[in-house]
């Protein structure tokens, strides 16, 4: 028993040393990254685009839905969500993959500003450093605003302005609840849910989105049914 306890302690020490080394390397890479591409410059580059819209130009129900679906503790939490990350890592271990990242909205902003979509452990570590920068320099509303402007919705539409006008021929502040909940579900897997050729999949995803809104007390079950039945016009 003492022998096993001794080896267990050694394993813990080794694991902690590996984690410390990974975060140390990640910090060095993070510093190099922001020295070449400062966060404020990356944010301003996005804001200068003609399709960028400010938060007051976006339907409030859509924004509330995005937070409920992507990061329900967004406005209450500061820093890294260790709870979500732990759940995601357990899923990854069980599936022997890096598909789950437990990414919060700030992490997804960091990822979309600096990286591609290929899962990578070191990238996830760098994202942690970046999210603390984001939350130190920008308000929650500014981070959410950036998020909905840089996420991909499928069919070549990046950002809420292009998605709402491209799919529904309406500006982001004119989205109906049906359109809003449909769009909020697309970024999870744009190629699987894009409306041009996977509309039924997108509707199934919308049902999940609506269920999450009901569970969080944002809408009632009756309202969810009404929203789901809304005749959503798709221009594609």
What digits encode the pLDDT tens for the residues 186-232?
999 999 999 999 999 999 999 999 999 999 999 999 999 999 999 99
Give DSSP secondary structure letters for 45-82: HHHTSTT---GGGS-HHHHHHHHHHH-TTTTT--S--H
Q: Distance between the two ends of the chain, CA-based, in angstroms?
A: 66
The model carries a pTM of 0.85
pLDDT in tens, 83-138: 555 544 454 444 444 444 558 999 999 999 998 777 788 888 999 999 999 999 99
Q: Could you give the CA distance from residue 145 to residue 83 in angstroms, rounded to a whole number?
A: 24
Domain boundaries, the chain: 37-228
Residues making up the chain, counted from first to last: 236
Q: Are 61 and 176 in contact (CB under 8 A)?
A: no
Assign a CATH topology to domain 37-228.
Answer: Penicillin binding protein transpeptidase fold (1.10.3810)
Q: Could you give the CA distance from residue 140 to residue 78 in angstroms, rounded to a whole number?
A: 10
């Amino acid at each position: 028993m003492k022998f096993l306890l001794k080896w267990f302690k050694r394993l813990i020490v080794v694991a902690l040393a590996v984690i410390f080394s990974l975060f140390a390397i990640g910090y060095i890479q993070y510093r190099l990254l922001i020295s070449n591409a400062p966060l404020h410059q990356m944010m301003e580059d996005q804001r200068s685009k003609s399709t960028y819209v400010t938060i007051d130009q976006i339907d409030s129900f859509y924004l509330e839905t995005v937070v409920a679906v992507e990061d329900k503790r967004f406005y209450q939490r500061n820093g890294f969500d260790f709870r979500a990350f732990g759940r995601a890592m357990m899923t990854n271990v069980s599936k022997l993959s890096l598909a789950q990242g437990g990414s919060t909205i700030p992490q997804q902003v960091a990822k979309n500003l600096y990286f591609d979509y290929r899962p990578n452990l070191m990238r996830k570590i760098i994202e942690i450093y970046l999210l603390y920068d984001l939350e130190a320099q920008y308000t929650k509303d500014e981070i959410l605003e950036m998020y909905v402007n840089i996420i991909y919705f499928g069919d070549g539409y990046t950002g809420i302005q292009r998605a709402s006008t491209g799919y529904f021929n309406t500006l982001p502040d004119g989205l109906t609840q049906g359109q809003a909940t449909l769009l909020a579900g697309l970024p999870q897997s744009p190629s699987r849910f894009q409306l041009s050729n996977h509309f039924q999949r997108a509707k199934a995803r919308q049902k999940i989105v609506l269920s999450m809104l009901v569970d969080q007390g944002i809408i009632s079950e009756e309202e969810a049914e009404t929203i789901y039945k809304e005749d959503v016009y798709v221009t594609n």
